[in-house]
């Protein structure tokens, strides 16, 4: 099976499993057992909380330190961190666990997947936990906590949040005689292209990426910048109209006519190796890119066109509704611990993710870090201008891969954006039907119980 067909099938499996997991078995009325683990004696006599996480490598080590610190800070609760793979792998395993009625107590969920678990009733409303703990949700950065809030109730709290950033090779920019800043518009980047590929020594000006590496997330900002949208909140698909098509055509011409851009399998690696002068990548990749690069790295807010556009990304934390009350309360105690300023600051500095609470962002330690690392501060300055992603990627099963594989056809095959996005819109419309029914049913239930 080729990679594209595998991605489409495996991505669709997540959506299918999530839909299977609804039907009333995961809404919390029936408490379900935990998955097994390796806690052993360490958890004896304590309330054991099973946490399914999505970070390996350096970020995984930083997370485990926070878990260990929490476990050492008190004697009543033991959190067992069980790594499950990527965001998508974690979501797929969680959906399968819900269907099998054996669930963790809390889990990491991306900005896309959490909405689907909310819709099928798998998440615990945390509003009363905030009240009983005398903890104000406004502790978190407003734009981030609002993403996890529905009708005034908190269902998902921010933890590892990011935005895309514009990265540029400061050494190449200097050689090309260009200002030490990101371009104000994408057309300005095109104007700089000849100098970057000439005096600057770049093989290409900009590296786009493929569906596997979330090109649909990155392109969301482009669509808004050109005044378009993937869809509206009523699930009308707009990707084959106006600004979205204009943005897609700009990409196609930049790659195939101007010969300045290309599709990289991993834009971070290509940028770090000096193959391209610029790229777009997550805030969470900043530390790794700076460490790998043999040149001075610069970051900037995303370029504009008709207006500014930038999505938020990354992951937050959800408590499972099917867990027993004692374990749900214990899981929230861990969430409270993670929100302490010193812990938010530690996590941000170790991983590159944005500080998600106001107190951490404004702390002396974080401000000193911003001063020493101005590249990191760009994401925080850009955050107030961001917005949640369109429903086509957030909620439609396999929406990310449907959009992403369409972009691959434009970037790799030189297919016209209008032609590609027409088929993408049709597929999204078809795949949105079940989710539309879920949304309508949840709204109707809320009105009946109001």
Average pLDDT over residues 250-260: 98
Give the separation between CA 339 and CA 154, rounded to whole angstroms.
Answer: 15
Q: At what angle do helices 242-256 and 417-431 cross, to 10 degrees?
A: 130
Give the separation between CA 124 and CA 51, rounded to whole angstroms.
Answer: 14
Global pTM reads 0.86
Residues 140 and 242 in one domain: no
Query: Alpha helix locations (H) across 108-241?
Result: 113-119, 127-132, 142-147, 170-175, 186-197, 215-225
Residues 30 and 154 in one domain: yes
Residues 323 and 304 in one domain: no
- What CATH number did the domain enclosing 274 receive? 3.40.190.10
Residues 198 and 299 in one domain: yes
336: left (phi over 0), alpha (psi -120 to 50) or beta: alpha
DSSP bridge partners of 12: none
Give the separation between CA 337 and CA 106, rounded to whole angstroms.
Answer: 14
Query: Alpha helix locations (H) across 294-340?
Result: 325-338
What domain count does the chain have?
A: 2
Last residue of a domain, one of 334, 354, 372: 372
Residues 140 and 187 in one domain: no
- Specify the higher pLDDT residue, 22 or 303: 303
Highest-confidence segment of 86-90, 268-272, 290-294: 268-272
Average pLDDT over residues 247-273: 97
- Specify the higher pLDDT residue, 245 or 17: 245
Least confident range of 170-179, 248-257, 374-383, 421-430: 374-383
Last residue of a domain, one of 356, 372, 388: 372
* Tens digit of each residue's pLDDT (9 = 90 or more) over 49-88: 999 999 998 899 999 999 999 999 999 999 999 999 999 8
3-state percent breakdown (helix, strand, coil) of the chain, nearest 5: 55, 15, 30
Give the separation between CA 416 and CA 253, rounded to whole angstroms.
Answer: 9
pLDDT at 11 over 90: no
Closest CA to 404 of 194, 239, 274, 275: 239
Residues 259 and 356 in one domain: no
Do the domain assignments include residue 1?
no
Residues 146 and 108 in one domain: yes
Residues 317 and 293 in one domain: no
User: Residue 36: what pLDDT?
Assistant: 78
User: Residue 314: what pLDDT?
Assistant: 93
Give the Cβ contact number of residue 296 at 10 Å.
Answer: 15
Residues 275 and 418 in one domain: yes
Q: How confident is the model at residue 450 (pLDDT cuts 50, 70, 90)?
A: low
Average pLDDT over residues 194-222: 97
Domain span including residue 218: 164-310+400-440
- Structure tokens that stand for 11 in this block: 């991505």
Residues 305 and 416 in one domain: yes
* Tens digit of each residue's pLDDT (9 = 90 or more) over 26-55: 344 456 777 777 777 888 899 999 999 999
What lies within 8 Å, CB to CB, of 387 at 6+ separation is: 224, 309, 310, 311, 312
Do the domain assignments include residue 171?
yes
User: Residue 438: what pLDDT?
Assistant: 77
Do the domain assignments include residue 292?
yes
User: Residue 20: what pLDDT?
Assistant: 40
Average pLDDT over residues 265-291: 94
User: Residue 441: what pLDDT?
Assistant: 78
Do the domain assignments include residue 3?
no
Last residue of a domain, one of 325, 355, 372: 372
Do the domain assignments include residue 18?
no
Do the domain assignments include residue 282?
yes
Do the domain assignments include residue 8?
no
Residues 341 and 427 in one domain: no
Give the separation between CA 346 and CA 159, rounded to whole angstroms.
Answer: 12
392 and 403 Cβ atoms separated by less than 8 Å: yes
Residues 105 and 136 in one domain: yes
Do the domain assignments include residue 103?
yes
């Amino acid at each position: 099976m080729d990679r594209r067909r595998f991605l489409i099938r495996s991505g669709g499996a997540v959506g299918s499993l999530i839909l299977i997991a609804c039907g009333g078995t995961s809404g919390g009325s029936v408490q379900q057992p935990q998955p097994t683990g390796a806690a052993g004696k360490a958890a004896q006599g304590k309330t054991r909380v099973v946490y399914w996480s999505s970070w390996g490598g350096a970020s995984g080590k930083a997370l485990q330190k926070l878990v260990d610190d929490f476990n050492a800070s008190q004697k009543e609760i033991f959190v067992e961190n069980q790594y499950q793979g990527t965001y998508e792998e974690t979501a797929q395993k969680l959906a399968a666990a819900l269907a099998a009625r054996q669930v963790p107590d809390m889990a990491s969920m991306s900005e896309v997947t959490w909405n689907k678990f909310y819709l099928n009733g798998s998440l615990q409303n945390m509003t009363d936990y905030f009240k009983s703990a005398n903890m104000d949700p406004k502790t978190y950065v407003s734009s981030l906590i609002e993403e996890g809030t529905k009708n005034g109730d908190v269902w998902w709290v921010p933890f590892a949040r990011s935005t895309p950033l514009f990265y540029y090779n400061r050494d190449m920019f200097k050689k090309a005689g260009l200002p030490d800043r990101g371009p104000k518009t994408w057309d300005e980047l095109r104007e700089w292209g000849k100098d970057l590929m000439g005096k600057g020594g770049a093989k290409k000006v900009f590296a786009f990426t493929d569906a596997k590496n979330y090109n649909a997330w990155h392109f969301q900002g482009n669509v808004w910048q050109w005044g378009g949208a993937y869809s509206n909140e009523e699930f009308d698909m707009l990707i084959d109209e106006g600004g979205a098509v204009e943005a897609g055509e700009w990409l196609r011409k930049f790659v195939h006519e101007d010969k300045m851009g290309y599709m990289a399998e991993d834009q971070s690696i290509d940028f770090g190796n000096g193959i391209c002068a610029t790229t777009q990548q997550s805030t969470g990749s900043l530390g790794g890119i700076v460490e790998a690069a043999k040149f001075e790295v610069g970051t900037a807010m995303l370029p504009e066109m008709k207006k500014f556009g930038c999505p938020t990304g990354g992951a937050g934390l959800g408590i499972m509704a099917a867990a027993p009350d004692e374990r749900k309360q214990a899981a929230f105690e861990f969430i409270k611990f993670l929100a302490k300023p010193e812990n938010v600051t530690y996590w941000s500095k170790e991983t590159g993710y944005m500080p998600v609470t106001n107190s951490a962002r404004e702390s002396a330690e974080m401000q000193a870090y911003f001063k020493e690392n101005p590249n990191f501060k760009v994401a925080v300055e850009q955050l107030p201008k961001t917005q949640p992603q369109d429903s086509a990627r957030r909620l439609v099963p396999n929406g990310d891969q449907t959009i992403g594989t369409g972009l691959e056809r434009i970037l790799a095959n030189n297919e016209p954006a209008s032609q590609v996005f027409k088929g993408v819109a049709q597929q999204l419309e078809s795949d949105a039907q079940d989710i539309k029914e879920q949304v309508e049913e949840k709204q109707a239930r809320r009105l009946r119980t109001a």
